[in-house]
Amino acid sequence: MPEFRLYNSLSRSIEPFVPGDGTTVKLYTCGPTVYNPAHLGNFRTFLFEDLLRRVLRMRGWAVEQVMNLTDVDDKIIKRASERSISITDLTDPVVETFHADREYLRIQRAEHYPRATAFIPEMIELVKRLEANGIAYKADDGTVYFAIDKFPTYGRLSRLDTREIRAGARVAQDEYAKENAQDFALWKAAKPEDEACGAAWDSPWGRGRPGWHLECSAMAMAILGETLDIHAGGVDLVFPHHEDEIAQSEAATGKPFARFWCHGEFLLTDGAKMAKRVGNVSTVEDLRTNGVSAAALRHFVFSTHYRKQLNLSGGALEASMEAVRRVGDFSDRLSRERAGNAGLAEAADTLIVEATTALSDDLNAPRALGALFDFIHAANKALDAKGTDAGALNRARDAFRQVNAVLDLVPDRGTDDSELATWVEEQLAARAAARAKRDFGEADRVRKVLEDKGIAIEDSPSGTRWKKVH
C-alpha cells in the first residue's frame, strides 16, 4: 500500500501520517451541541470523520475515537431557560436522537461519547493548572479568562498574525467574531438563569460553568492523554474553538495538543452554509420521510472531496439513489454467481490498488468511488462472459467487500448472519464499556437498540449471551 497522507491544517500541507505509538490512532472529533437534533451539515462532518476512521482501520491501525457531546453551553442554557426546564431534560432526548440518526447513517460508533457535564472536575483542574502557570486570571465580572498575550504562539492554527490581536479585551460568549482575538472565558461566573436550569457548579472561583472550548480540552486529555494524533471537526471550528483548545491545552501541559488538525468543508443549501440560525436545515428525519437511504446519503457526501464545499440538492440525492441501486444490484449478483474468469480477477486487483491508493491520498473518496464504478462495469462484463474460475469470483467478492467496508454503500436489505454477529458484538462491547463507567443510561440505550433489532441479551457471571428472537 502507498503511504497514508493527510492534510494538516496546522502546516497547511498534506503530510504522511502514522499514529504516534505506531498502532493506535488517538482521534478526537468535536461532537454535536445537543440542543436540537443535528442537521445534515453536522452529519456531513461526522461522515467525513467516519470515512477517516474507516480508512485508518483499513490501513491496519486501531482507532480510539472520542466524540464529545456538548451538553452545557450558551445556546443550551438559553433554550432550557425559555422552556423552564433543566439542561438535562433538554439534552437527554437530543442525545438519543443523535445516536438513532448516527446509526441510520451507519456512522460507526466511537469508543467514547463523553458528556461535558460529566467532566466538570477535570475542567476545573485544567483551569487551576493554567492559573498556576500565570495564564488564567479572574476578572472583576467573576469570570476566569485566558490571557492570550501570555501564550506567544496564540493564533498559529488560524493564522491570526494577519489580524488584530486585542490582548486584555475580553469576550465571555462561547462563539465570537473572527476579526477579534481576545481573552476568552475558561470558567464563567454563574448567572441566575444558569442556576435555574442546573448549569452551575462549585469551583475555587465561585459558582460557575465551563466555557465551550474548555470542555473539549479537558475531555480530550482526560480520555486520550495530553497529545492526540488527530483532532477533527468542521472548518467553522478553526477559530475560535480549536485555536482556544490549543492555547488552553498547550499552556497547561507544555506539549503539542494534537499532531494533526483536520477540517471538513461545509454542506450548503442554495449556496449558503446549512445552519440552524439560517433556518435552511434538513435532518435525518427528512431523509427517512423521503426514502433516502443511508447508502444514498453516503454516496452523495463521498462524491465530493471532504475539503470542498458541497451543495445539497434533490437532483444530486436522486442521482445518488440511482448509483447505490447499481451497487446493490451488483452486490446481489456477486453473491448469486458461482464462478468468474481471468478478467474478473484482474478487475478485482485493479479495484484494490486504485481504491486504497485514492483513500490513502488525503481520503480521496470521489476517486475511490470512480474506481468502484469502473470495477462494477468491468466485473459485470466479465461475469456475462461466464467463467469457471471460483477463485476469481472470490477475489472479486473480497475486493468488493474491502472497499465497501470503508464506503458502506450497499443499501440495507437485512444483514446476513456473520455481519449481524459482528454488529451485535460491537454493541455488547459498547454496553460493557458504558457499564464499566457506571453510565447505566447509555448501557440501557444500547440494550434498547439491540432489542429493536430483535436481539435479546442475558447477563451471566461468565459474560453476556445474546440470541436472535425474531
When the beta carbons of 45 and 320 are compared against Zn ion, the nearer one is 45
For the record, the C-alpha cell of 465 comes out as: 449471551
Question: What residue 109 binds from ligand AMP, Zn ion, none (CB within 5 to 8 A, per partner kind)?
Answer: none
- Of 300, 359, 275, give the one whose Cα is nearest residue 1: 359
Residue nearest to ligand AMP (CB): 234
When the beta carbons of 211 and 340 are compared against Zn ion, the nearer one is 211
Minimum gap (Å) between residue 241 Cβ and Zn ion: 5
When the beta carbons of 99 and 273 are compared against ligand AMP, the nearer one is 273
Cα(436)–Cα(339) distance, integer angstroms = 48
For the record, the C-alpha cell of 337 comes out as: 454467481
Backbone angle region of 267, left / alpha / beta, with phi > 0 → left and psi within -120 to 50 → alpha: beta
When the beta carbons of 239 and 330 are compared against Zn ion, the nearer one is 239
Cα(256)–Cα(247) distance, integer angstroms = 10
DSSP H or E segment with residue 41? helix 40-58
CB 200 within 8 Å of CB 207: yes
Question: What residue 274 binds from ligand AMP, Zn ion, none (CB within 5 to 8 A, per partner kind)?
Answer: ligand AMP
- The alpha carbon dihedral of 19, 52, 394, 386 has a sign of negative
- CB atoms under 10 Å from CB of 156, counted, come to 15
Query: Binding string, 16-55, against Zn ion, x = CB under 5 A?
Result: --------------x-------------------------
DSSP H helix total and E strand total for the chain:
15, 16
Minimum gap (Å) between residue 285 Cβ and ligand AMP: 16
Question: What residue 203 binds from Zn ion, ligand AMP, none (CB within 5 to 8 A, per partner kind)?
Answer: none
When the beta carbons of 72 and 424 are compared against ligand AMP, the nearer one is 72
Using omega within 30 degrees of 0 as the cis cutoff, is the peptide bond preceding 192 cis?
Answer: no
Q: What is the DSSP letter of 36?
A: S
Question: What residue 143 binds from Zn ion, ligand AMP, none (CB within 5 to 8 A, per partner kind)?
Answer: none
Question: What residue 221 binds from ligand AMP, Zn ion, none (CB within 5 to 8 A, per partner kind)?
Answer: none
By CB under 5 A, is residue 67 in contact with Zn ion?
no
When the beta carbons of 38 and 369 are compared against ligand AMP, the nearer one is 38
By CB under 5 A, is residue 247 in contact with Zn ion?
no
The per-residue DSSP string of 59-101 comes to: TT-EEEEEE-BB-SSHHHHHHHHHHT--HHHHHHHHHHHHHHH
When the beta carbons of 264 and 387 are compared against ligand AMP, the nearer one is 264
When the beta carbons of 30 and 95 are compared against Zn ion, the nearer one is 30
Question: What residue 216 binds from ligand AMP, Zn ion, none (CB within 5 to 8 A, per partner kind)?
Answer: Zn ion
Minimum gap (Å) between residue 42 Cβ and ligand AMP: 4
By CB under 5 A, is residue 216 in contact with Zn ion?
yes
Minimum gap (Å) between residue 429 Cβ and Zn ion: 25
CB 317 within 8 Å of CB 296: yes
Cα(429)–Cα(411) distance, integer angstroms = 26
For the record, the C-alpha cell of 251 comes out as: 499552556
Minimum gap (Å) between residue 275 Cβ and ligand AMP: 6
Cα(39)–Cα(269) distance, integer angstroms = 12
Q: What is the DSSP letter of 18?
A: -
Minimum gap (Å) between residue 314 Cβ and ligand AMP: 18
Question: What residue 234 binds from Zn ion, ligand AMP, none (CB within 5 to 8 A, per partner kind)?
Answer: ligand AMP
Minimum gap (Å) between residue 48 Cβ and ligand AMP: 8
Q: Would you tell me which residues interact with ligand AMP (CB under 6 A)? A: 30, 32-33, 41-42, 44-45, 233-234, 236-237, 266-267, 273-275
When the beta carbons of 189 and 220 are compared against Zn ion, the nearer one is 220
Q: Residue 410 burial by CB count (10 A; 0-12/13-18/19+): exposed, middle or buried?
A: buried
CB 226 within 8 Å of CB 255: yes
- CB atoms under 10 Å from CB of 60, counted, come to 9
Question: What residue 41 binds from ligand AMP, Zn ion, none (CB within 5 to 8 A, per partner kind)?
Answer: ligand AMP
By CB under 5 A, name the binding residues for Zn ion: 30, 216
